[in-house]
Amino acid sequence: MDHFAFFGLERRFDVDASELDRSYLELSRLLHPDRQVPMPGEGQTGSLAARRARALALSAAMNAAHATLGSPEKRAEYLLRLLGGKTADQDKRTPPGFLQEQLELREEVEEAKGAKDRPRLETRLRELESSRDERLERVRSLFARSPEKEALAELRVELNALKYVSNLEGEIRSALAAEGP
């Protein structure tokens, strides 16, 4: 059973976040080790310990699956793998000119971080956010064309680029949070 099926969702890129959450909380109430409590008269015994150990394995797998489906980037990676696409290790290509662009952007961000130039960091963050949204939009339409071979190859390239964008975005966010307004 794949992660989508586990949470009772259709296997596709678009996921209803509230539906995923509702299903996740419902399953957590069943599977979490803390929900395995002594039955009347059982006490803290071996059979309880065995139930808790099983629950640990199940809920660890469930939490990891939920984290995967909860993030668009991870969900895309996972779905691409299910559809037989390549991993980032197997195909490291990025869109033409992308790496050069990233390198320059990164340099600029480092400079702004060093100068504690908050407005500049915030501008770059907004730009990165919109570039991330654009790429996710492309990912969405590419998944709509899957399982076409070219679509899967293009998805790999987009997701590789997306990884760079999210990393840099995360760095700016933590720099901004560390400094405070």
Partner 1 sequence: MGSSQKDDLVVGIDLGTTNSLVALVRDGKPVVLRDGAGERIFVPSIVSWRDDASVLVGAEARRRAPEAPRRTVHSIKRLMGKGLEDVTAEDRALLPYELSLADKKLVRVLVGERAVTPQEVSALILRELKTRAEAGLGREVKRAVITVPAYFDDAQRQATRDAGKIAGLDVLRIINEPTAASLAYGLGGKDGTIAVYDFGGGTFDISILRIQAGTFRVLSTNGDTHLGGDDLDRTLVELALSKLEEREKSLKVREDPRLLALLRDAAEKAKIELSSSERATLVLRDEKRGISLDLPLARAEYERAALPFVERSLSRCRRALEDAHVKVQDLDAVVLVGGVTRTPLVRAKVEELFKRKPHTDVDPDEVVALGAAVQADVLAGSGREVLLLDVTPLSLGMETMGGGVTKLIMRNSTIPTQATEDFSTFKDDQTLVEIHVLQGERELAKDCRSLAFFKLRIPPMPASVPRIHVTFLIDADGILRVHAIEERSGSEASIEVVPVHGLTQDEVDRIYLDSLDHALEDVKAHRLIDLRNESETVLRATEKSLREAGSSLSQDARRAIEAKMRELRASAATDDATAISAALEALNKTAEPLAEILLNRVAEAAVKGKRLEDVGASPEKTS
Q: Interface residues with partner 1 (CB under 8 A)?
A: 25, 28-29, 32-35, 37-39, 41-44, 56-57, 59-61, 63-64, 66-67, 173-174, 176-180
- Residue 68 Cβ vs partner 1, minimum distance, rounded to whole Å: 10
- Residue 115 Cβ vs partner 1, minimum distance, rounded to whole Å: 19
- Nearest-10 Cα torsion for 122, 127, 131, 132: 10
Residue 56: count other Cβ atoms within 10 Å of its Cβ. 14
Nearest to 109 by CA among 120, 100, 101: 120
- Residue 157 Cβ vs partner 1, minimum distance, rounded to whole Å: 23
In terms of CB distance, is 66 or 156 closer to partner 1? 66
Taking the C-alpha atoms of residue 17 and residue 94, their distance in angstroms, rounded to an integer, is 29
Asked whether 119 and 181 are in contact (CB, 8 A), the reply is no
Sign of CA dihedral 126, 177, 166, 98: positive
- Residue 45 Cβ vs partner 1, minimum distance, rounded to whole Å: 8
In terms of CB distance, is 117 or 151 closer to partner 1? 117
In terms of CB distance, is 69 or 142 closer to partner 1? 69
Largest CA distance in the chain: 68
Asked whether 162 and 181 are in contact (CB, 8 A), the reply is no
User: Is residue 176 classed as helix, strand or coil in its secondary structure?
Assistant: helix
In terms of CB distance, is 136 or 153 closer to partner 1? 136
- Residue 46 Cβ vs partner 1, minimum distance, rounded to whole Å: 13
In terms of CB distance, is 80 or 125 closer to partner 1? 125
